[in-house]
């Protein structure tokens, strides 16, 4: 459905450290690097699905109710995403664990990135 999503960030260097770690934990990679933007997607492709763009002014993340959910290949990948987010300057918004109110097998973790964007890693992947 979506081609990609772009987020404004205050520091491309700080954000690249955070997203290199968290996206790497989920099996994704940096697939684009430029002077003012970096992009993440599936390893071995040139198709970015998440683009971070350096902003000249303040960054204001969307309010309550908005978050980005990334697909994890396993519960262990969700755990690694959360662990790497904490190491890279993220803020805990829900430790890895079952989320039965979302479904009987739903396993997820929630964090805030350094600019305050709420992120989720979830397993299992959605059924297509």
Sort 52 into a burial class: Cβ within 10 Å, 0-12 / 13-18 / 19+: buried
C-alpha distance from residue 1 to each of 4, 5, 62, 77 (Å): 9, 11, 20, 24
The DSSP letter of residue 89 is: T
Distance CA 68, CA 76 (A): 19
Q: Domain of 17? A: 5-58+65-123
Residues 8-19: tens digit of each pLDDT: 999 999 999 999
CATH number of the CATH domain containing 25: 3.10.180.10
The model's pLDDT over 86-106, given as tens digits with 9 standing for 90+, comes to 999 999 999 999 999 999 999
109 pLDDT above the threshold of 80: yes
Other CB atoms within 10 Å distance of the CB of residue 57: 7
Cβ–Cβ under 8 Å, residues 41 and 104? no
Written as six digits, the tokens of 100 are: 């039965």
Q: Within a domain: residue 103?
A: yes
pLDDT for residue 46 is more than 90: no
Q: Does residue 54 form part of some domain?
A: yes
pLDDT of 2: 81
Tell me, yes or no, whether 128 lies in a domain: no
Q: How many domains does the chain have?
A: 1
| Nearest CA-CA partner of 88 in 11, 1, 3 | 11
Tokens linked to 45: 């492709």
């Amino acid at each position: 459905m979506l081609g990609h999503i772009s987020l404004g960030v205050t520091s491309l260097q700080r954000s690249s450290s955070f997203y290199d770690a968290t996206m790497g934990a989920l099996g994704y990679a940096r697939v684009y690097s430029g002077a003012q933007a970096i992009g993440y997607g599936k390893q071995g492709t040139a198709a970015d699905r998440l683009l971070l763009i350096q902003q000249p002014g303040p960054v204001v993340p969307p309010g309550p109710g908005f978050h980005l959910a990334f697909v994890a290949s396993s519960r262990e990948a969700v755990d690694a995403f959360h662990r790497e987010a904490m190491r890279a300057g993220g803020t805990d918004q829900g430790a890895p664990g079952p989320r039965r109110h979302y479904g009987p097998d739903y396993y997820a973790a929630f964090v805030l990135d350094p600019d305050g964007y709420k992120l989720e890693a979830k397993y299992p992947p959605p059924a297509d």
